[in-house]
Structure 1
Amino acid sequence: MRTEDLHSLTGAYALHALPDDERIAFERHLPHCGPCEQESLELAAAAARLGLATAVTPGPALKDRVLQRITTVRQVSPGGGTAERARRVVPRGRGLARWTLAACVAAAAGLGGTTVWQYQRAEDAGERAARAEQRAGTLAGVLAAPDAESRTARLADGATGTLIVSEREDRAVFLASGMPEPPQGKVYQLWFDDHGTMRSAGLMEPGRTSQAVLMEGAVDGAAGVGITVEPAGGSEQPTSAPIALMNMPA
């Protein structure tokens, strides 16, 4: 493939839309072409912002309807897992409720990429749903804020990270792409750098290579952001050297 052709692939690469042979050729080209590398990073960050900013939170009416129907849907008893058995134990007309519940769970998982409803009781599901909606709304608010500023950097092992900060919202979002999974029993932890003092800003989900993380706590004048590898559950203070450090967007 000619170099002229490779220069035209930045947009498709940022959207993960290249076939394997072109992706491999482009990734070999990237380390030797600064403009292509920078343009790919900026396009990937822009695509993530646009996609997450248009996320739609299910309305209260849908949530209330789903939670009310949870208590009326019978479950298949152990040992009776055949399709025929399931059709017999579920009263006629209840199938719609089950599809509605599945759709709502899928929608909740897509808002922020990090929350999964695990229904044990309707009350517990309601609390989880409320937290997920609030978090998704805050995340979208930061991404869509008119004063939002971003900074993108290449991390280790070919990963990229984009830090988005809104002074008006006093919150920050970290977008990760291509992050390798942390070692077994470890997790990536985000930190605000308060001019030399590290303040925990939450954990990244270990099993996701690309994700959007609403950083915990206010920005509150922090000078930058760091990422460390910590034991599962996180640490009160960093226990390892940062694998990445990023200054706040100008």
Structure 2
Amino acid sequence: MTTTDLHRLTGAYALHALSDAENTAFERHLTGCEACAQETAELSETAARMGLAVAAAPPAGLREQVLHRITAVRQESPGEPGPSRAVRSGPRARTLSRWALAACLAAATALGGTALWQHQRAEDARAQARRATQVTDEIAAVLAAPDARTRAAGLTGGATGTVVVSRDRDRAVFVVSGMTRPPGGKVYQLWFDEGGAMRPAGLMDPARSDQAVLLRGAVDGASGMGITVEPDGGSKEPTSAPLAVMTFPG
């Protein structure tokens, strides 16, 4: 493995994606390469922030609720007979049977609608999970790209932001920590800076102070990125002065 090859392993090392042999060789290389050591530290910090940004804690008390329900629900033995009831006959019994049939049909219709709604909700959840997984995979691919380069900067309110760019993949990721919530009805919007002209690059989640965002679209000829406060839903072009403008790493 050449020195050039080792220089290109910073992202894969930060994501623990190297083989044992590559890992050993790269760690030896780090002891004598200050540039790779610094870049590896920045990528490792970015990967950690990304993990925090997508992590979700289970609801409080979920474990206790599940255990309580397990102990409270009685399982009926197979073949166990239910309570005996006298068999009725005659006109009243037939009337009751018609009412019972109507009730069963109504219940079946309602349950069918509920089942359809639940199925649609499940399909929507699966589609959302697939999209989230795809975005996470794309973010990881940018961070692990051999040519990935990072640049960090301080933002307003004490927040810190790091942009990671892979020219080979033509994509960029913005990782932010400690971002304050935008004003009501507003959202933080990201932009590609193309010689002073701003191209929309996606929205940040206004409810999260720590997050990793895959900038929408190709890096292409952009020299940097900007952040503005926009009306909820975003804008086609900036309507406020940038909170920050970051030049992409070379």
After TM superposition, the score normalised by the length of structure 2 is 0.56
SS at structure 2 position matched to 1:151? strand
After superposition, the Cα gap between the structure-2 partners of 1:120 and 1:146, relative to the gap in structure 1 and judged at 3 Å, is: same
1:48 maps to amino acid: T
2:46 maps to amino acid: A
- 2:213 is matched with 213
RMSD over aligned Cα atoms? 3.3
Structure of higher RCO (CA pairs closer than 8 Å, 6+ residues apart): 2
- 1:47 is matched with 45
Q: Are residues 1:173 and 2:173 paired?
A: yes
- 1:195 is matched with 195
After superposition, the Cα gap between the structure-2 partners of 1:52 and 1:210, relative to the gap in structure 1 and judged at 3 Å, is: closer
CA contact (8 A) 1:228 1:238 kept: yes
Q: Distance in 2 between matches of 1:187 and 1:227?
A: 10
Q: Distance in 1 between matches of 2:194 and 2:74?
A: 58
SS at structure 2 position matched to 1:222? coil
SS at structure 2 position matched to 1:121? helix
1:228 maps to amino acid: T
Q: CA offset at residue 121 of structure 1?
A: 2.6
CA contact (8 A) 1:52 1:140 kept: no
Q: Distance in 2 between matches of 1:197 and 1:247?
A: 14
Q: CA offset at residue 86 of structure 1?
A: 10
SS at structure 1 position matched to 2:245? strand
Q: Distance in 2 between matches of 1:235 and 1:221?
A: 21
CA deviations on 1:92-112 (whole Å, 9 max, x unpaired) are 9xxxxxxxxxxxxxxxxxxxx
CA contact (8 A) 1:177 1:211 kept: yes
- Residue pairs, 1:63-74, within 5 angstroms: none
- 1:238 is matched with 238
Q: CA offset at residue 226 of structure 1?
A: 0.3
CA contact (8 A) 2:42 2:150 kept: no
1:247 maps to amino acid: T
Q: Distance in 2 between matches of 1:91 and 1:126?
A: 33
Q: Are residues 1:163 and 2:163 paired?
A: yes
Q: Distance in 2 between matches of 1:119 and 1:51?
A: 34
User: Gapped runs of 5+ residues in structure 1?
Assistant: 1-41, 56-82, 93-117
User: Gapped runs of 5+ residues in structure 2?
Assistant: 1-39, 54-67, 78-117
Q: Distance in 1 between matches of 2:230 and 2:75?
A: 46
Runs of 4+ in 1 over 4 A off after TM superposition: 42-45, 50-53, 83-92
After TM superposition, the score normalised by the length of structure 1 is 0.56
- 1:141 is matched with 141
Equivalenced residue count is 158
Q: Distance in 1 between matches of 2:119 and 2:175?
A: 29
1:139 maps to amino acid: I
Percent identity, aligned pairs only?
A: 55
